[in-house]
Structure 1
């Protein structure tokens, strides 16, 4: 079956590459006027200027709007690319605007995203699927030098470099040192001795750890799964329940307690020039946090796992209820026909001989990490995630060295941590690249031109939710979905808000932002090809498809309730 899928995927890829070459040579781009309004002021020298990323930018010569080569009327007359990349104009109402031309290739603009989704659905491998989407997008633009002209310029940006440093060095290094010192296992042992008395307390501890490790993704899944499995197995908690609790707190909680790497990554994808509350990186991070109350799916998903931990199972579906009944009556943690995934390599300890782990080696760095993130958010307006992870990493290292661990063992642990997140970092790099290409090719502009004027505004949040659920389920990655969806979704949301004259466009944008964020989390969480789904089953010892099928009902219920809440919010308050 998989061999047939690979053959179909190869055929689709070849067809997509041929189509991309055809688009570049035969399809004329549709040019559109894009106007941006900034808060301008007059300098002491009498020149017009505006602030961009905290720096003063002078405005050049102003021309009347009707004379600009970049207004829509003149763009429609021309069959060629505009003669300039931007121009400042003054319109009939004396308002100063910056005009920039943008283009799309109609439905062809969505080709890179469609190729990526199709290949990931068929091959179940996001790395090659994302790279194939990048190649397709590059061919549409006529860029044949992928390394020097496409990938390196994306990586060289400040935001992407900071993201890779955070995720690869700081996060990976911290995980590696915790593995070497046995800090997480010591914390689990402490919790087992003092708090776990039976099934309910075992599940509550698991839920608490899922909330505590709110960094999201594979890190939370591996840490929580490996830490709670021994205590859960001892308390006879079914593996279906445990895998659901681990999976449904890993990413959903990261979208709610967002003092982690998520805002730093997402903010780079939601810049819309001319929208004042998304103008700077600090503005976009503040927008992320202001949108958290609308993360209804994340809130409901985490609440659902809490209810399950309290043995309230009416909402959780027949499979989880049957699993709980089986474990209670027979002590059997898996179904009769289950094939649990082995996770020995994730449970093994790498502590050097003679080193004695202590619970404070985990608690102190984690408390420091959370404290720095929260304090910098309160005092500076945005959490300094790099500072938080950097200090936590150094503190863990100094504690280990102070307790007698050799520098060689410490560096070995740090290196193992880096190895563990290399693949994830590669996926992030490619995800950012395809997001940039998708934006340049104009997929978002095309959707705006098709839907911006006619779509009822109250339908858009649920539409975005369904689209991102489908993409994330097909690709198995929420962050990859963000790279595809955000450059399309937020310009569309802004166009709808402006064209339909909404009284509160910022609230409408927050809700649409939350639907993309949460819809992607749902699709990733429920996808059988998602790394977090597989790791949740692997670390808890559950059969993969038993885990997927058992969590589908409560996750879908939470997503359905969230859809109703999003619709009601924009209908009555936007």
Structure 2
């Protein structure tokens, strides 16, 4: 280990220890500040004349309400007694008599925050990610700091286990680790995805433009996004694109720009299930349950302007029709076509021959149908359940796709042992991602529990220019994602802050269309994470796009950022205009 590496490790450990000590002292000596919010609730009457109240997204009987005077929750009582340290956040249904047998019903919720210290877990997580480039240890550090701030010293039993034993965490684990990993493993073992991609490439590539268009089209087809799309598209198209003299700067940009942006536009994947866990806001009925949050996610997809413009700009680039192509990208295209030099002079390509090697079992040759039919099943069930139930059941979709892919492999002669082995190999490839996701869920829950979003609302709830809020949250997400190299980790930190803030601004300024304003702010934050991740030199998709296409990392980054900025500029104009309309 070099001296600089030892100094970095010592500095990182010192920062973590100091932050942990500060969190423990603040939590024990100052304690939280409590607030109590009372939100009026309406009474609904069904066709049979039965009355009920929607409380936290679920219908509740009027008899479940408790008189307000019996709840006895006031900020003065909570802040001026030992309850300040001992009380737990409470969410209760209450009523108040108005006379003449009439009652008004309310949601009474106590919330706590530690002032500016509420941001400490997120700051430590982001800061260590930036310095160490290692997300797992950074997330764990943020979790420990947050737990100590709340006075919770049992990190495993009191924080980690309750977080990862939730339905949301289990769903993420089953979907991302078992089903998605297993499906990719079967496709890799049978050669299904490679056979389909090669068929598309060999039958449609007739020159540089068609080679780039096939790369763009495959990026759309592999709409799961992220590392999977980057590796599959890049490794499949690179040999054909190299023959047609497509510069590696262009090819890596197309591969990268059709990974995460496509995943939020064609969101029949793991993204909605993961993100919805961070969208709950007290008093907002359409964000109270997982089903309603998924509906909100899909309803906001048309507002993902950055992703749409990014994909469109990439298509124009592939067709050589982009009207504002940056000079460096023009020179790269000219160099490759005139000289055959696919990388710039002096570049250091991140070539990795392992990405060019196939893991296909040649005794079981695949056809494009081996990939296409499970994909149809996946899309059909996801879209069908979305139309029928209001939200896609991606667990059913991926489960059916995996089962169909496995059955097709078995019918073609692959043994059951080989199929199970392929599933396990695929699952191994996403274990690291699964661990990061579970830790990200935990740090997101801690950000909510320490009241970071609530404190931010208390500071910015009277934000005077509501129309500027979408741009602000977009830039916040960009900075965090660019600094950490992960959009999913960014969402765990930002959404618990952004959604309560957007709701407070919409309520305080009495916007005419508060639900639309909430959707705009959500879309801006969602797309900001994608932008930052896509352009970050420490992002896994950026690095894998460079490796799989044989591009120099910084050449890829510097040629991609101008195109991304153009898409971001157009998106900010539309978000700001729509937010202004919400008044």
Give the TM bin, normalised by the shorter chain: over 0.9
Per the alignment, residue 499 of structure 2 pairs with: 490
- SS for the counterpart of 1:99 is strand
> Which of the numbers 296, 303, 319 marks the counterpart of 1:287?
296
Per the alignment, residue 95 of structure 2 pairs with: 90
Per the alignment, residue 28 of structure 2 pairs with: 25
Per the alignment, residue 132 of structure 2 pairs with: 123
> 2: CA distance between counterparts of 1:83 and 1:407?
55
> 2: CA distance between counterparts of 1:513 and 1:202?
35
Shift of residue 86, structure 1, vs aligned partner: 4.0
- Pairs within 5 Å for 1:551-566: 551-566=560-575
* Mapped pair 1:296 → 2:305: yes
Answer whether contact 1:241 1:320 (CA < 8 A) is retained. yes
Shift of residue 192, structure 1, vs aligned partner: 2.3
Per the alignment, residue 330 of structure 1 pairs with: 339
Of 19-28 and 157-166, deviating more is 19-28
Per the alignment, residue 212 of structure 2 pairs with: 203
* Mapped pair 1:361 → 2:370: yes
Of 392-401 and 32-41, deviating more is 32-41
* Mapped pair 1:237 → 2:246: yes
* Mapped pair 1:415 → 2:419: no
Answer whether contact 1:291 1:514 (CA < 8 A) is retained. yes
Per the alignment, residue 378 of structure 1 pairs with: 387
> 2: CA distance between counterparts of 1:189 and 1:49?
56
Answer whether contact 1:341 1:541 (CA < 8 A) is retained. yes
> Which of the numbers 51, 54, 73 marks the counterpart of 1:70?
73
Q: TM-score, normalised by structure 1?
A: 0.95
Per the alignment, residue 151 of structure 2 pairs with: 142
How large is the Cα RMSD of the aligned pairs?
Answer: 2.2
Q: How many residues align?
A: 573
Per the alignment, residue 187 of structure 1 pairs with: 196
- SS for the counterpart of 2:111 is strand
- SS for the counterpart of 2:511 is coil
Change (3 A) 1:58 1:413: farther
Q: TM-score, normalised by structure 2?
A: 0.94
- Pairs within 5 Å for 1:17-56: 17-40=20-43, 50=54, 56=60
* Mapped pair 1:158 → 2:167: yes
Shift of residue 26, structure 1, vs aligned partner: 1.8
Shift of residue 64, structure 1, vs aligned partner: 3.7
- SS for the counterpart of 1:255 is helix
Flag structure 1 segments of 5+ consecutive residues without an equivalent. Answer: none
- Pairs within 5 Å for 1:209-228: 209-228=218-237
> Which of the numbers 524, 536, 544 marks the counterpart of 1:515?
524
> Which of the numbers 389, 398, 405 marks the counterpart of 2:398?
389
Per the alignment, residue 321 of structure 2 pairs with: 312
User: What do residues 235-293 of structure 1 show as CA deviations (whole Å, max 9, x unaligned)?
Assistant: 21111111111111100111111111111111111012321221222211111111111
> 1: CA distance between counterparts of 2:516 and 2:331?
42
Flag structure 2 segments of 5+ consecutive residues without an equivalent. Answer: none
Change (3 A) 1:61 1:411: closer
Shift of residue 529, structure 1, vs aligned partner: 1.1
Per the alignment, residue 437 of structure 2 pairs with: 428
Answer whether contact 2:195 2:366 (CA < 8 A) is retained. yes
Answer whether contact 1:49 1:59 (CA < 8 A) is retained. no
Of 278-287 and 41-50, deviating more is 41-50
> 2: CA distance between counterparts of 1:413 and 1:48?
51
> Which of the numbers 52, 59, 64 marks the counterpart of 1:60?
64
Shift of residue 373, structure 1, vs aligned partner: 0.9
Change (3 A) 1:425 1:310: same
